[in-house]
Structures are given as C-alpha cells and as structure tokens.
Chains A and B, each alone.
Chain A
Amino acid sequence: MSPTLTVATAGRVLQQIRHDRRTLALLLIVPCVLLGLLAWIYQNTPVFDSIGAPLLALFPFLTMFLVTSIATLRERQSGTLERLLTMPMAKADLVAGYALAFGLLAAVQALIASGFALLVLGLDVAGAAWLLILVAVVDCLLGTALGLFLSAFARTEFQAVQFLPAFVLPQFLLCGLLIPRDQLPDVLRWISNVLPLSYAVDAMRTITTDPNGTASVLGDVAIVLGYVIALVALGAATLRRRTS
C-alpha cells in the first residue's frame, strides 16, 4: 500500500465530484433541508430538540451511503476498476482513496448540517456542540464505509440502490429512534447491539440529554470508528482482482 496512490485516488474522486456540481450541491444541502423541514414540522414543541441530533446522525449517513455505493459501482462498471487492478495499485490504496475522499466530503457535509442545525434552527442540546459535530462527521464516515463494503456485492445500480432499504432501513428501525433500544424484544435488542447505527444514535441521544455524557459519547464514537475501519478493510478484502 502506498500513501501516494491513496492520495492520488482521493484527489481524483474529489475532482470527479467537483465537476459534478449538482451532486455536490445535493450532498451538502439536502441534509440541511431535511433538518429544516423537521424543525418546521415540530415548531413550538420540544420534539425537534429531542430528535434533531439523532436525525443529524441519520440524514448525512444515508446520503453518503448512497453516493459511495454508486460511485464505486460506476468504477466497477466503467472498466476503470479493471484497468486500475492491472496497474501498480493495491486494492487497499483504491478503497482507502475512496474512504479518504468521501471522508473529507462527509466532514464538510457534517459541519454544514450540524452548523445549520445549531445556529439557524436553534437546536438545543445538553452536551457540547463540538461533540455533536464530531459524532455527525463519524456517522458520515460510517455511511461511506458501509457503502464501500456493500457495493462489492452489487452487480447493478438497481441492486446497489436496493441495498438502502435492505441494509440501512433495518438499522434505522432498530437504532432506538422509534422506541428506546432497551425496550426492544430481546432478539431485536441483540441485533441492534451489533448494528453500527445504534451506537451513532446512542451517542446523539446522550448529547441531547446528558450534559456530563462526554465519556459515554466518546466510547460510542470509538465503536463507530471501529466499524468504519473494519468495513473499509473488508471492502478492500472483498475486492477481487480476478473476476469471471
């Protein structure tokens, strides 16, 4: 693996996104619009303050997941992946390059979305603002990592898009937003314990309610980062140089 190739690949991916202004705008603005809509729906109630932060974990996660899945699938289908795999490029360089590029994008997206929620929408949380931003960034990274990993199993765009309801929505149902995770039936609680989004949302709930929850939040962040690293490594491992 070489840092030069990782950085060159990340630069190339960002260059592609930069040429695609509409995608860039959608990526950066859509989470803000959704949060704004949410705040508007629940105006004059305390609901936005209680679910605003968890949804701040969710919306950017979803968009990064989709963008990453499709981008890597396009690489596969356009023949550029096959070209790169015959060149002096380690599989890890390619996957890490994607993770770096989308990670940077994810960070910008999370900064904008959390800044918008805090400053414009007046989201009021018990914990520190920097913690909220940190968790939002890590959740975006999680979306990217999951997209990188799962896109290895999609042969067509149709399949890749179906992975959202198949692998992401169950995580949403079980992450504790609908009912607290400790009230889930046992089996579902066990499942939710191994799903990464659960920890992302746990962290956001702690930030929402607990002014002294920094240690607990950082613990959840560490778990989510662990998933990110594992998913990126699996993404590189499942990339096949030889195909039929």
Chain B
Amino acid sequence: MTAAGSTAEPAIAIADLRVVRLGRTVIPGLSLSIPRGQLVGLLGPSGCGKSTLLRSVVGVQEIAGGTVQVLGLPAGCEPLRHRVGYLIQAPSIYQDLTIAENLRYFAKVLGTPRRQLDGEVARVLEQVDLTDLAVASAAALSGGETARVSLAAALLGTPEVLVLDEPTVGLDPVLRRDLWAIFRRLAGQGVTLLVSSHVMDEAVRCDRLLLMRAGAMLADDTLQGVLASTGAPDAEQAFLTLVDRAAGTPAARPGGSDHRGRHEKPEPHQGVST
C-alpha cells in the first residue's frame, strides 16, 4: 500500500467542476478537496448529482469544465486505473456467469497473479458474506446479493481510493454494519473512501459528510460540525435546515429545487435475460 506516501497531496481535488448531461446542467460548478485516509459520505437525495460526481472522480463522465485530480493525477488516467476502485450503482456483473467466475475475471483484469486468484476471490466473497454462493449463477441472485457481488468486485486488489456509489442500498442492517466496519478498517489502513448514499442515517459512519443537493454542496463538514452549525438533532434535520437556509439566501440557484429522480443513473441497466 502506497497510500501512506505523499500524504500532503489530497486524494481527490476537484476545482470548478461543471457537468452538463443531455443539455441539462447537473453540476454547475463544484470544488472539493478530500485528504487521504478519510471515510467520506456523499449524502443527498436521488437525482442530486451524486453519481455524476462519482463518475467524474473515476474519469468516465464527460465534463464541461473544471479539473478533477485523484492522487495528484488527472481522473481516469491509465496509472490511476490500477489505484482507484469503483462501484457503479447498476449491478455491474455478468448475469450469465457464476459469482466466482465474475470475480476471477475482474481480478485478472486488475493483474492479480494466477496463483493468488482463488485467495483473492475468497477474501472479497467473505467480506460481503457470499462465500456459500460462490458457484451460484449471478442470474439467480436477489437484488441485494447482486449488489454485494458488485461491491466485492470493487474490493478486489489494493485500491488506494475507493469510490462507492450506494454500496449499502437495500441491504440487511447486519450486513450494512459489517460493510461499514470494512470501510472503516480500510480507511484506517490509509485508503480514501468516497461513499454515496441517499440514506441520511449513514452519516454517523463517516469521518466527514458532503451534503449534496441540486449539483451543489450544502455542507462539507464532520457530522458534529454539521449538527452544531444547524442546531439539528440528526443529519436528516440538518439537511432540511440547510435546504431552507439556502432557499432563503440570494445565493440559491433559481429553479434549483425541482431536480429529482430520473437523471441520476447514467446508464439504464438491463434485466436478466435467459
């Protein structure tokens, strides 16, 4: 792990990011810096631009302006693709392979040596609690199980930055707790994690919160900091307070309150075909 190396440089540095999708400005101009080794929660309602921001960080989003640097390099460049793990929101696994076959293939793509493939696959399967289903066909899995296989694939290798788009959505509370424990442990090892969620409860698990709405950051602080500045008892109330405050100031974007749903997911995902 080289993450402990030049810690002075932020893990993720975004300046004036602007993203336009299908003629609609999704992110009007966003700047952000995330130091290494932090577990950062990106929270906001569906459709606020979380996925678009995460896609920009891994370098698969076409951007209209600004810069996105990860570990001091331009997002998505070749060397970074060995060092950044990404979980896409859609269940991005092959439905016509078994779970183990899926993970072996992704491990090979990451350059895992042949002798270590089995161990590597077993390790991530255990982390998402799917060891018993290793030989099951991906098509036979429930939505939550599919999401876990997808997450397991993102945990392969030794990424220095993990970008996870809603990794815990729809999961059993016990598994959610276990996954957050894994994220916490990875952060302890120097991995930077940027984890999105639309569930405000997950705020308590993070070192730091990014509260996002309509393509802009409402807050960028620790949970304690956000609660103190808003006087709210929890993240959800704090979010509402911040929305009300933003609406009351001239700085609020005109028409910025009606961005909901439908454009959040960049690619439509396809059902199981037999």
Contact = CB atoms under 8 A, between A and B. Distances in A.
B270 interface: yes
A80 B269 CA distance: 10
B173 to A, nearest CB: 26
A241 B59 contact: yes
Interface string B60-104: 111100000000000010100110101011111111110001000
Contact of B267 (A77, A86, A87): A77
Nearest to B79: A88
A189 interface: no
A241 B58 CA distance: 10
Interface string A1-38: 00011001101100110011000000000000000000
Contact of B60 (A5, A8, A89, A241): A241
Contacts of B88: 79, 82-83
Contacts of A43: none
Nearest to A85: B60
A44 B126 CA distance: 66
A9 B58 CA distance: 22
B91 A89 contact: no
A8 B108 contact: yes
A82 B101 contact: no
A77 B272 CA distance: 12
B59 A79 contact: no
Contact of B94 (A16, A76, A87): A16
A4 to B, nearest CB: 7
Interface of A is mostly: helix
Given A86-B84, A86-B86, A88-B78, A243 B108 contact: no
Nearest to A17: B96
B62 A80 contact: no
Given A8-B109, A77-B270, A78-B270, A86 B94 contact: no
Given A16-B96, A16-B97, A4 B108 contact: yes
Contacts of B110: 87-88
A84 B60 contact: no
B266 interface: yes
Contact of A80 (B58, B63, B78, B94): B94
A181 interface: no
A244 B21 contact: yes
A244 to B, nearest CB: 5
A11 B266 CA distance: 28
A241 B88 CA distance: 14
B137 A19 contact: yes
The 10 closest A-B pairs by CB, nearest first: A79-B92, A79-B90, A8-B108, A86-B86, A77-B270, A83-B92, A12-B105, A242-B62, A16-B96, A86-B58
11 contacts: A4-B108, A8-B109, A20-B96, A78-B91, A78-B92, A83-B153, A86-B84, A88-B109, A242-B63, A243-B267, A244-B20
